[in-house]
Amino acid sequence: MENLQQATIDTVKKLTPEQMQALLLLIESWQNHRAQAAIGSSEAEAIVNGWLLDNLPDRFTAGTAQPITSRHIWYVPIELTYPTTGSIGKVGEALVSAFSGVLLSVSQVEDLQRTAAELYNTRPNELQAPVL
């Protein structure tokens, strides 16, 4: 076994920079293939909903999470909803790590509120209460 390891080390030392880059890309691809997400789409949506509850009034909810597989991230749209009409439309977005469940990025609160108000103003007669 030691002879095989030493032979491998000796071979790697002889690689050109281009060959080394190709080897590193191959190793990274293999690692990514073996890696499995620690959280699913429902958990990503729950993480975003938790943030929304902490930072905004009701009527904001996480939409259906979509995977960005090349980055191991969940893309989660943030939607404006009303009890009697359901989802009115997308007002922002969030990104959640598929491995750690960490909220990587989320639209600014002010942008979410502004976009929600604009959506509300397109259909005020259908909706029961304005966005606060």
> Residue 109 has what pLDDT?
96
In words, the CATH class of domain 41-122 is alpha beta
pTM for the structure as a whole: 0.68
Q: Is 26 helix (H, G, I), strand (E, B) or coil?
A: helix
> Residue 69 has what pLDDT?
75
DSSP string, 84-128: TTEEEEEEEEEEEETTT--EEEE--HHHHHHHHHHHHHHSTTT-S
> Residue 41 has what pLDDT?
94
> Residue 82 has what pLDDT?
85
> Residue 84 has what pLDDT?
79
Find where tokens 């999470």 sit: 65
In the chain, pLDDT over 70 holds for what percent of residues? 75
> Residue 12 has what pLDDT?
67
Q: Where are the domains of the chain?
A: 2-34, 41-122
In the predicted model, is pLDDT for residue 47 greater than 60? yes
Tens-place pLDDT, residues 51-103: 999 999 889 999 999 999 777 899 999 999 988 788 999 999 999 988 888 99
